[in-house]
Structure 1
């Protein structure tokens, strides 16, 4: 991240908002800057909103924000941030690619929030870099952009690129920037204004552990869920799952029925199909590639399973804009 301007002028950040952008991520990034100005009793930061065409942009919550400029005509910025959310690549075009590459050629710091990293990667600006994105789309990103080193982190800063997972991770990232540029005391004061008692580090995990997410205290069951989540491309069989839990297969089946109302096999299949939906929505991988990445032996088997689970064929996920993948309740 850049140092504060040497001439004691405020640092101006350009936020490019993509259609269906995450309002939570955007506000979590801007509000710490506003409060830092108030606590410092001077303007440390300014921000302006960009859109592709200069028109207002509608977020995923259906609220719209006015844009100050279009990407075709705006003042220079030391830092630009691209904020996206659902279906980011749907809005990638030649004009956006050229704009991003111009920022890169000018030596501008470039950041991405939520799924904004997909757009930077598609423009070829993340090859050889470390990055992160929202946990729902981490697997999809890894499959789509093998030249990028993906980390499951709140945020990643790598040379003149930075990214964050979206949501409240943007708050922690901006607090980190404020601390680096203006000291720990100011960053801590800003954090307390948001009833945010801890400035989380980049290495903090995005998701809760299964026991916290599911409200389950059974250690063996939690071990099984973690194993399932780590082996979606190469599923293990029920015998291995039972051994991991330290239970018989029958005992494991009773536990899953008690807590989830389904068998371990059904639960595992749901996890794989949730991953498949994310890949269908966030990447342009073929149906066969998605099937293989989610542990299915054939496209036909995958299509039957997907239709039974989602009520539609895998190809239907790409015929209309989606408002997000199924919530990860399991």
Structure 2
């Protein structure tokens, strides 16, 4: 009788319009680990609601191995999301997640899959992460969840990755914990993955890298702007906070970003407003307040100037784009977290 440990099985629940990149980056390290180790350390199965073919956001269709069936308690269940996660998180899916969690199955979300797990109430009081584009909407919908800006989070028997290649980093971490860092490093080498990121790495590039300018005071001001969207500060206060004059701040923005600090700040606030309009069911007035606008008419005027449409029309577009009422909320209540 063999004493070899039973292979660990990963079950990937593919929601409609899930992101293929995140799924591939999670499953490939498992295949490569088996190849490098010369034995079966991992197995996997693809699940979908009703066991029917599901389509990724790039149009690729996949036939699942199973529907919403009972799992082994030792399985790891990962929900793979993408665009339209609200509509894909049906009552059946949420109830299945709750049932498997009660049975002790470890589970988590990849990309926007964290939204489905949170809607099922399985991240309350836990830490998790989600793609940075969905961060504002997630915070509004699930204030009881501690949202991290890191690329992945493992909190007990809950895990989450932010999307893209971050799922590879998370799975490599799991391989390292189960079979040692040497195997994980060999898997990463096979993937031409030169650096295995940790759960301390943040999702987004640094501000200097994002804006293409390495100026410490400019980066500091932009960081302050991003942190203070709801209660915007004046250019004079921002300049004082980094130890420069308002005129110097104006020159700095004109030189490197070809716009005034006031205009740059406005663009940040309007971009957040657009995310909230498209990804949540917050009223237009509450979106305006969350982005530092005290006058709905001023908000509407600025929004139209930036996006050539009104906030109300933007909201109407989102609502006719296939969103559905939250399965576990009172009729009419919705929380939408669709990736643009």
Q: TM-score, normalised by structure 1?
A: 0.90
Structure 1 unaligned runs (5+)? Answer: 1-5, 326-330
Match of 1:82 in 2: 79
Partner SS state of residue 205, structure 1: coil
2:70/2:100 contact within 8 Å kept: no
Partner SS state of residue 53, structure 1: helix
Partner SS state of residue 80, structure 1: strand
Match of 2:316 in 1: 316
State the distance in 1 between where 2:261 and 2:162 align.
Answer: 30
Instruction: Provide closer, same or farther for how the CA distance between residues 61 and 244 of structure 1 changes in structure 2, counting only shifts above 3 A.
Output: farther
State the distance in 1 between where 2:180 and 2:25 align.
Answer: 20
2:206 matches 1:209: yes
**Which residues of 2 match residues 9-48 of structure 1 at below 5 A?**
9-48=6-45
2:142 matches 1:145: yes
Structure 2 unaligned runs (5+)? Answer: 323-337
Partner SS state of residue 43, structure 2: strand
2:12/2:44 contact within 8 Å kept: yes
2:163 matches 1:156: no
State the distance in 2 between where 1:62 and 1:311 align.
Answer: 29
Note the C-alpha offset of 1:54.
2.2
Note the C-alpha offset of 1:103.
1.0
Partner SS state of residue 140, structure 1: helix
**Which residues of 2 match residues 1-330 of structure 1 at below 5 A?**
8-71=5-68, 73=69, 76=72, 78-314=75-311, 315-321=315-321, 324-325=339-340
State the distance in 1 between where 2:9 and 2:116 align.
Answer: 22
State the distance in 2 between where 1:132 and 1:124 align.
Answer: 15
Instruction: Provide closer, same or farther for how the CA distance between residues 173 and 14 of structure 1 changes in structure 2, counting only shifts above 3 A.
Output: same
State the distance in 1 between where 2:57 and 2:142 align.
Answer: 25
Superposed CA offset, 1:56-108 (max 9, x none) = 2222222222222222x465461111011223213222111211111111111
Instruction: Provide closer, same or farther for how the CA distance between residues 62 and 245 of structure 1 changes in structure 2, counting only shifts above 3 A.
Output: farther
2:71/2:100 contact within 8 Å kept: no
1:232/1:294 contact within 8 Å kept: yes
State the distance in 2 between where 1:213 and 1:136 align.
Answer: 15
Note the C-alpha offset of 1:242.
2.5
2:134/2:339 contact within 8 Å kept: no
Match of 2:333 in 1: none
2:37/2:183 contact within 8 Å kept: yes
What is the RMSD computed on CA atoms of the aligned residues? Answer: 2.0
Note the C-alpha offset of 1:7.
5.6
Q: TM-score, normalised by structure 2?
A: 0.88
Superposed CA offset, 1:123-154 (max 9, x none) = 11111111111112222211211111111111
State the distance in 1 between where 2:102 and 2:199 align.
Answer: 27
Alignment: residue pair count: 319
State the distance in 1 between where 2:4 and 2:99 align.
Answer: 25
Note the C-alpha offset of 1:118.
1.0
1:131/1:163 contact within 8 Å kept: yes
Partner SS state of residue 70, structure 1: coil
